[in-house]
Amino acid sequence: MPTITVNVDDDLKERMDEHPEINWSEVTRQAIQEKIEALEVMDELTNESEPTERDVQEIADKINQSGRKRVDQESA
């Protein structure tokens, strides 16, 4: 699996250190995943073809699924 480096300022790092129970790599990975999924949805919305009602429903379902996933993860 590839590795990336994320730079944070000293204040943010200190605040992160106050929560050693959090896997910050996983939080970062999830944030990137969610952003990529949102961008992909936007790509689908802005492509040159006219979306059908089915396309719109599929996109809405993806957005709802992502939202439910985020709520479940935050409440766990």
Do 34 and 70 touch, CB atoms closer than 8 A? yes
Predicted structure pTM score: 0.59
User: In this predicted structure, what is the pLDDT of residue 68?
Assistant: 83
Model confidence over 10-51: pLDDT tens digits?
Answer: 999 999 999 999 999 999 999 999 999 988 888 877 776 677
How far from each other are the two terminal CA atoms of the chain, in whole angstroms?
A: 26
Separation CA 59–CA 69 (nearest Å): 15
Please give the single-letter amino acid code of residue 74.
E
pLDDT, residue 17, reads: 98
